[in-house]
Amino acid sequence: MESYSTTTTINGAGNPAADNFPSSFSKFNTALTAGLLNPMSPPPFVDKTRSSPTLFEMMSSEPDCHLKAPPNGVVPAENPQSLKLSANPLHQDKQALLQQRLLDLLSSRSPGNQFNDAGTGDVKLTLSSNDGVSITMSVHRQILVAHSRFFALKLNEKWVKQQGGMGPYIVEIADCDDIEVYIETLRLMYCKDLRRKLMREDVPRVLGILKVSAAIGFDAGVLSCLEYLEAAPWAEDEEQKVASLLSELRLERVGAMEVLKRVSVDVTTGVEYGNDNEEVLLKLLHVVLEGKDEKARREMKILVTKMLRENAPHTDLRKESLYSVCDRCLNFLRQCFLKEAEEATQNVGQIARHADNLHWLLDILIDRQIAEEFLKIWALQSELAVAHSKVPVIHRYEVSRVTARLLVGIGKGQLLASKDVRCMLLQTWLVPFYDDFGWMRRASKGLDRHLIEDGLSNTILTLSMPLQQEIFLSWFNRFLNAGDDCPNIQRGFEVWWRRAFWRRNGEPERPRQMRITSASIEKS
């Protein structure tokens, strides 16, 4: 926090601070005023009759080219102050610009406002910063004492009697972080409508005013800043600054909690809201699953997936809750699918809708690494797989996208299921997957065919060699008859071929036996 000091000097505060900071352009301005740098002045006369001096002239002028040593042999050092001033002219220019900006700020006041009124002010207040910038203004002790607990303590009646005069009194506040913010804070003490005045400021400036107001005990300024922060919109990068400053200042009793409620739900009572958060997330999932507009549903699925993925470690969404949503969605799909397989209905479009919802939920489970149980549940849906061929492919191919996602997950190591579950998945859903692949490839936008084919190949290659042979030979025959409507798992077929024939026909490499070449016993 800045340090505050007072002095008992009664006379004037001296020259303005701006006179103590000469501009680095002073020499330039002097030369320009004198006409030495007049761009319209004629060039100096040059005698062109002789292009170079003679040898005699060069020899006669040679002693003048050397510096004459002083009598004592010591070269006088340059003025350190002049070196300092010339070393960093850019810093001085910045200080001069800041000084001018502060003077402009002090001079801009509405008619009737007594802030910085030298005629009526009885306190000469000087604000100074660590980098040497200072500014002096005329303020009123009565206003400072009435609005600030700090000034009420420092400028009390006892202090006035100690000064032994009628003023003006000289007060200095040193080591200010931002003099502009201090001036703005003091100006607020002279305003009748602080909230209206703050409406012209942005959030970073109001945070600075709030910090100064809290430091000097300017309660009206603190309340006005909090009201502004509670009502004004924040940029995303400003939220952390607001929360950090309010926590640092500890303004819970004067309205800071109302501001922090915008970014935290448990800031007031300290009660854990885990269950409430889970209810909100589940409600969001149900709303997306039951939405009517397909375009809006797709957009919200992307948004919810992104939020859940970014906040996965902090999201209060239990595995049991997610699986309850999956079970509900799977039951809807099963009812619609089996009903459509028995008799044609007008709700056949619901099959694709529920299958798409199930595919989205599966993505969430895989992101959270809890999808192994769903893989087992899907592998056991033999009744659904048997009825698969009885439903038109245009309505059922979305179901095979669920199978494709599981194959990709197994192939990429995102799902670590047992061998029995992997075998059951292929036995139940591989043929329906083959039947729908052509439609799935043509109708699904953004479908990565090669990713699915690699996932299927890697899944098959995790099985035993007899099962690999059975599946790859069946695929070989199907691919020759279906072409592009069948997934191309040639890469996996080649791996199986090398495993089955090349290594079988080649001479197996015998492991080398370990043998001791030499041994000795060290004698002690």
Q: What single-letter DSSP state applies at residue 486?
A: S
The predicted pLDDT at position 314 comes to: 58
For the segment 5-16, what is each residue's pLDDT rounded down to a tens digit?
444 333 333 333
Q: What single-letter DSSP state applies at residue 499?
A: I
Show Cβ contacts of residue 297 under 8 Å, excluding neighbours closer than 6 positions: 288, 291
Determine the Cα–Cα distance for residues 393 and 351; give it in Å rounded to an integer. 11
CA distances from 360 to 204, 380, 442, 516 (A): 41, 20, 20, 61
Q: Which of 98-107, 240-249, 269-278, 504-513 has the lowest mean pLDDT?
A: 504-513
The predicted pLDDT at position 33 comes to: 41
The predicted pLDDT at position 270 comes to: 47
208 or 99: whose pLDDT is higher?
Answer: 208
The predicted pLDDT at position 175 comes to: 85
* Mean pLDDT on 255-259: 80
* Mean pLDDT on 302-331: 85
The predicted pLDDT at position 330 comes to: 94
Confidence of residue 59 (pLDDT cuts 50, 70, 90): very low
For the segment 456-486, what is each residue's pLDDT rounded down to a tens digit?
999 999 999 999 999 999 999 999 998 889 9
The predicted pLDDT at position 451 comes to: 94
* Residue that the structure tokens 């939220």 belong to: 239
404 within 8 A of 362, measured Cβ to Cβ = no
Structure token pair of residue 166 = 């009628």
CB 217: neighbour CB atoms within 10 A? Answer: 15
Enumerate the β-bridge partners of residue 256.
none
For the segment 73-117, what is each residue's pLDDT rounded down to a tens digit?
433 433 433 323 344 666 667 777 877 888 877 877 776 688 888
The predicted pLDDT at position 465 comes to: 92
Q: Is a pLDDT exceeding 80 seen at residue 20?
A: no
Structure token pair of residue 290 = 């039951």
458 within 8 A of 472, measured Cβ to Cβ = no
The predicted pLDDT at position 220 comes to: 92
The predicted pLDDT at position 48 comes to: 41
Show Cβ contacts of residue 465 under 8 Å, excluding neighbours closer than 6 positions: 496, 499, 500
Confidence of residue 265 (pLDDT cuts 50, 70, 90): low
**For residue 176, how far is the Cα from the chain centroid?**
30
In angstroms and rounded to an integer, the radius of gyration of the C-alpha atoms of the chain is 42
Q: Is a pLDDT exceeding 90 seen at residue 488?
A: yes
Determine the Cα–Cα distance for residues 227 and 214; give it in Å rounded to an integer. 14
| Nearest in space to 340 (alpha carbons), one of 378, 389, 380 | 389
* Residue that the structure tokens 């699918």 belong to: 337
| Nearest in space to 495 (alpha carbons), one of 468, 522, 523, 513 | 468
Q: Which of 20-24, 57-61, 272-276 has the lowest mean pLDDT?
A: 20-24
SS3 124: strand
* CA max distance for the chain: 123
| Nearest in space to 459 (alpha carbons), one of 422, 424, 486, 491 | 422
* Mean pLDDT on 268-273: 47
The predicted pLDDT at position 455 comes to: 94
Confidence of residue 275 (pLDDT cuts 50, 70, 90): low
* Residue that the structure tokens 């079970």 belong to: 327
The predicted pLDDT at position 457 comes to: 94
For the segment 318-367, what is each residue's pLDDT rounded down to a tens digit?
889 899 999 999 999 999 888 888 877 767 778 889 999 999 999 999 99
